[in-house]
Homo-oligomer: A and B are copies of this chain.
Amino acid sequence: MESRRKFLQKMALPALALPFLPSPSWANLQKPFISPYQGPVLRVAIMGLGGYGTRVADAMKDCQKAKLVGVISGTPSKVKDWQSKYGIPAKNCYNYENFDQVKNNPDIDAIYVITPNALHHDQVIRSAKAGKHVICEKPMALNAKEGQEMIDACKQANVKLLVGYRMHFEPKTLEVIRMREAGELGEIKFFQGLVGFRVGDPAQWRLNKDLAGGGSMMDIGIYAINGARYMIGEEPVWVTAQETKTDPTKFKQGVDETIQFQLGFPGGATASCLSTYNMNNLDKFFLNGANGFAEMQPSTNYGPIKGRTHKGELSQPHVTHQTVQMDEMASIILEGKQVVVPVDGEEGLKDLKIIDAIYQAVKTGNKIPLKS
């Protein structure tokens, strides 16, 4: 891929003229010929080479503005695999002891932190101190206090901090948001977000409080929280929540199996959400307005997202979420691009404040007021 990309970039202008030439075999290749990108490219190192890291790396092969150039991992065999799979030079490979030295590496612009939640705080701050922009998987931290510290550290280091909210770039999601903002749904009354899956291997980090910081709420649950906010388009003013645990062996103290939570919004809308590690592939959004509605199912998985509104089926094309996300994030970081739904640290912090309040509501049984 590496050498072909460079080749294509060099060939870009002549390639544009191809329609007037006989078609050679390589003329059928793909997009770069038709729309060659000549602008700046965000050179990214991925920290954490697990399943989702691999998904992002694969998706980045199709990016125009972002490029995977480095890795940070504690597992040398994984580094070796990635080097050969993604063409990563040895000088761009780090481990968790030495990655602060990335500050001396001019060939890496940003670090994408894709590690267990509990590690984000320190890793993001170290990345910022190394002078690199940071993209952090969601939830960005274990609580709002950590999130604020990460924002502050990035500000102080004069680097950008983004959070991996891939749904903020998903075409059907953006169409529903456009419809709401255009008033096509009328006054927004209700949002429902049901998200969850049945968690497998009981030994995985997701079920380890020390690494995950919680249970389903710290993982899949954030899709419902974040979804409620971008679908309703307001910041909630209160939250109530109830926990249900049917398997205390698998879901230990501090690791939530199922939490229902409800949000109240200043305009009078309410949200009813469920986050679970104990139901099969639950992934439903429903937004109800005075004059229309939107239903999405699946609503937040890797797609294709499916949905309909009172006007009919949503027909926006599926795109690989992580490809678009990384191209868009490159534009945000490199060109200061403004996007419809923010993906910055402040956005991540808003979700963390709600997560804090949800756990407080579960613990106390009280309705917790929220300040935006």
**B270 near A258: Cβ-Cβ < 8 Å:** yes
Task: Mark out the residues of chain A between 256 and 281 whose CB falls within 8 Å of any chain B CB in the assembled complex.
Answer: 258, 260, 262, 264, 268, 270, 272, 274, 276, 278-280
CB under 8 Å from chain B, chain A span 229-255: 240, 242, 244, 246
The residues of B that contact A246 with a CB separation of less than 8 Å are: 268
Expressed in whole angstroms, the Cα–Cα distance for A258 and B270 within the complex equals 9
Contacts of A33 in B (CB 8 A): none
A322 interface contact, C-beta 8 A: no
B274 touches A190 (CB 8 A): yes
**Once the chains bind, are A279 and B270 in contact (CB under 8 Å)?**
no
Indicate how many identical chains form the complex: 2
Instruction: Select the residue from A244, A258, A276, A290 with max chain B CB neighbours within 10 A.
Output: A244
Are A264 and B279 CB-contacts (below 8 A) given A270-B258, A274-B190, A365-B365? no
Assess whether B240 is in contact with A189, with CB atoms less than 8 Å apart: no
CB of A268 within 8 A of CB of B242, answer no
Interface of A is mostly: strand
Contact among B190, B274, B280, B282 with A279 in the assembled complex (CB-CB below 8 Å): B190
Query: Which of B242, B270, B276, B280 is in CB contact (< 8 Å) with A244?
Result: B270
A151 to chain B: closest CB distance in Å? Answer: 31
Q: Which residues of the other chain, B, contact A258 by a CB distance below 8 angstroms?
A: 270
Q: A274: nearest residue on chain B (CB-CB)?
A: B272
Q: How far is the CB of A268 from chain B (nearest CB, A)?
A: 3
Q: B260, A242: Cβ atoms under 8 Å? A: no
What are 20 contact pairs spanning A and B, CB under 8 A?
A189-B278, A190-B274, A190-B279, A192-B192, A192-B194, A198-B290, A240-B242, A242-B264, A242-B367, A244-B270, A246-B268, A260-B262, A260-B272, A262-B262, A272-B272, A279-B288, A279-B290, A280-B288, A280-B290, A365-B365
Spell out A's residues near B (CB within 8 Å). 189-190, 192, 194, 198, 240, 242, 244, 246, 258, 260, 262, 264, 268, 270, 272, 274, 276, 278-280, 282, 284, 286, 288, 290, 365-367
